[in-house]
Structure 1
Amino acid sequence: MRLGLDRNIKIKDIILLVLVVFIGYEVFVNHSKILDFIGKFFSVIMPFIYAFVFAYVLNPIMKLFQKRLRLKRGLAVLLTYVLVTGIIVLVGVYVVPVVIDSIISITTEVPKYITTVQGWINSALQDDKMYTILKDAGVLNIITNISTKAGTIFISLLEGLAGSLLSITADIVMIGFGFLCSIYVLADKDNLIKQVKIMMTMVFKKEKTRNILGVLRTYNQMIGLYIGSKALDSLIIGIISLVGLIIFKVPYAILLAIIVGFTNMIPYFGPFVGMVVCATVSVFVSPMLAIIVFVFLLAVQQFDAWFLEPKIVGSRVGISPFLIILGVTIGGGFFGAIGMLLASPTVATIKVYYDKLILFFKSRYNDIDEYLGDENIKELNEYVKKDKTEEDSKE
């Protein structure tokens, strides 16, 4: 008598199912040990992760030397690392000490800033009518709590920043080792890429490997567009801001210019954060200086938005502000600053493949134009054919 099992179910399928259930149970029971092992594993290979990151970042510079100066790979790698090492030395000698001194100085000045703010609040509350209104509305208690906690919060932020600097200093050997290893990664990148493609083909087969490489190629292009180009744009904005802050005699000008340049990398939110930080520091010198600095940085950001960024970054892939803000929020929430920086290229890549999917769908169902009100279905079909031809030529 046969059991009521489907004939398609084989003994090896049952064994595989039991094995999967057993492994899943062991993972669930020993998840803390597994997480510890994963953490230790990543801490061991971290120098090599740094090596690949450095090689990826420096690859465009090496390719530029190869194409423009027509140098061989080894000489181009050597020139790239000489240039980068020189920049690191200059920054370490002239910029890092100034930034550290500024952080220490701000930390020591925080009590004076708190006293100044409390003096402004006391002066504003000397008016009896204003005092009564604020007290009845409950605003007075809020202001008192904020003024009391602001110093503690600010000091905690600075201590966290100082702790991060110490952590980076402690990992300097690991980062340095990764920087040295990246030389070999960059010099042998063609062979490494070839081996990765072979392994992917063995695992995913040819068609899936081609699709995965297509996504990675698009994502790489978007990173170059949104991060590489935006980094150059932010560097220029930081230099312009530094010149202006020095002219206006704003304290901690170098530190504030670095903050403006870095926050400029984050779409929409970033420039506003940089302006607010600079104006907040300036207000303790004089309220008029804070207004001047805010207006100056606002003008710089308008110059960036209307002229500089379109020239450098361009608008090859249009993304709505809503999608960018959504991507920055999600990326920052899950992955912090790195997630915010990668939000734009990630959203852009998703949009590219979403548009391709829509175009393919329209090309398969020609009557969809009546439903969507799209009268350009022929043009869309030509775009799909052209895109397919370009992908085949790249392969």
Structure 2
Amino acid sequence: MTVFKKYFPIVTYAILLFWGVMYYEVVGNLLSKLFSVLTPLIVGIAIAFVLNLLMKKIEKFVLSSKKLEKLHKKSRAISLLSTYLITLLVITLIIIFIVPQVAASAKTLIDKLPDYAVKLTDWGTDVYEDLNLSNDLTAQLFDNFKEIFVGLSSFTANTFIKVIDVTLGITSSALTTFMGIIFSAYILGQKEKLIRIVSDLNKALAPKKISKYLSELMQMTEKTFSRFVGGQLTEAMILGTLCFIGLILFKIPYAPLVSVLVAVTSLIPVVGAFIGTVPSVLIIAMESPSKALFFVIFIVILQQIEGNLIYPKVVGDAIGISGFWVFLAITVGGGLFGIPGMLLGVPLMAVVYSATSKAVKKRLNHNETASDRFKDS
């Protein structure tokens, strides 16, 4: 009976693994459908995780304030309602003040694209005349441009279908987000109860040592992600604001569009600033190459200030890993899951690195203790 209990889980896992490998397509389809069904819940968990950073601060303020002592029993409801109201206010302010300016910059850029195309054509003509290209090379270039225009025509023909697809996608995303917000409210309102349920399941289903390890791992993951997400969001807002102020002062075109682009891409550690700089330089260069060069100098100085002053104070040691592991996490995460992988890869790598380091240290201490005992005997 003891042997059966010992090897039954191993045999069960081996059979399930074999079945999964043999019918990987069926397993893949099932997982895809399951993920699609659970997407609103996953979105809700993500929203709740981010909003919980603000809610904890509000709840702590209410509970610590003597003036609000009468409201202590209703601190959860007050903090939850305040969190959603503040979030709604921030989104409203963004829609009122930032979105119109970004849209205006984008519209100006689109309106001027024909002029930029004419300038590019004139430049190409001048280069062609200066280089005195052969007829064969000219014919080859003409064929290449012809293929490009055929592709553009095909793209234009399919635009209507793509617009419908995008509209349906936006509608679906809006519905998923709305359902995610509802889930997030339930999660935030009963987070202690949900955590207790997960903890009880962990203790009931896993052996004592594994249960303790998983509990520590979950606490480490929550702590790392909270610090990382909160720090990155704050740092991105500071960087975007400083960038906008600098561009306005130096009269660099497309300031709102470029600032938002820099702020959003800076959410990705290390390489985010470079990802945002490249398209920004191209956009500014179409208006004024000299100002694009000045923007490069400005953004390099701003990144130095951000890297040496802002980032250490705002994010600090939240990641807890060196630049090598950060870059590896971004590369692997981006390669496997795109932008979400680049954003989540760094804190995940930090958790894996920390857990592995602890396991290695524990193993080394165990080996050293065993070696000392062997010497004493």
Instruction: Give TM-score scaled by structure 1 length.
Output: 0.74
Report what 1:246 is aligned to: 248
Residue 311 of structure 2 corresponds to residue 309 of structure 1: yes
Residue 365 of structure 2 corresponds to residue 366 of structure 1: no
Identify which of 41, 44, 52 aligns with 1:48: 41
Residue 97 of structure 2 corresponds to residue 94 of structure 1: yes
* 8 Å Cα contact 2:333-2:344 kept in structure 1: yes
Equivalent residue of 1:69, what SS? Answer: helix
Equivalent residue of 1:314, what SS? Answer: coil
**How many Å separate the matches in 1 of 2:313 and 2:282?**
31
Identify which of 44, 51, 60 aligns with 2:53: 60
Equivalent residue of 1:266, what SS? Answer: coil
Structure 1 residue 103 displacement after superposition = 4.2
Question: Once structures 1 and 2 are overlaid, which stretch shifts more, 66-75 or 182-191?
Answer: 66-75
Equivalent residue of 1:114, what SS? Answer: helix
Instruction: Write the deviation string for residues 107-135 of structure 1: whole angstroms up to 9, x where unpaired.
Output: 4544433333343344455545xx67xx9
Which residue identity is paired with 1:44?
V
Report what 1:275 is aligned to: 277
Residue 66 of structure 2 corresponds to residue 73 of structure 1: no
Report what 1:28 is aligned to: 23
Structure 1 residue 149 displacement after superposition = 5.8
Alignment root-mean-square deviation, CA? 4.0
Which residue identity is paired with 1:68?
F
Report what 2:216 is aligned to: 214
Instruction: Write the deviation string for residues 200-226 of structure 1: whole angstroms up to 9, x where unpaired.
Output: 222213321221121121122222232
Which residue identity is paired with 2:42?
I
Structure 1 residue 343 displacement after superposition = 1.8
Report what 1:387 is aligned to: none
**How many Å separate the matches in 2 of 1:289 and 1:362?**
57
**How many Å separate the matches in 2 of 1:22 and 1:237?**
48
Report what 2:345 is aligned to: 343
Report what 2:336 is aligned to: 334
CA gap 1:112/1:166 in 2 versus in 1, 3 angstroms:
farther
Size of the aligned set, in residue pairs, is: 346
Residue 223 of structure 2 corresponds to residue 230 of structure 1: no
* 8 Å Cα contact 1:362-1:368 kept in structure 2: no
**Higher RCO (Cα < 8 Å, 6 or more apart):** 2
Provide the identity percentage: 26
**How many Å separate the matches in 2 of 1:164 and 1:218?**
39
Equivalent residue of 2:268, what SS? Answer: coil
CA gap 1:20/1:358 in 2 versus in 1, 3 angstroms:
closer
Gaps of 5+ in 1: 1-7, 370-395
* 8 Å Cα contact 2:236-2:267 kept in structure 1: yes
Structure 1 residue 58 displacement after superposition = 0.7
Question: Once structures 1 and 2 are overlaid, which stretch shifts more, 110-119 or 279-288?
Answer: 110-119
Which residue identity is paired with 1:24?
W
Gaps of 5+ in 2: 64-71, 372-377
CA gap 1:149/1:210 in 2 versus in 1, 3 angstroms:
farther
**How many Å separate the matches in 1 of 2:333 and 2:288?**
37
Structure 1 residue 350 displacement after superposition = 1.9
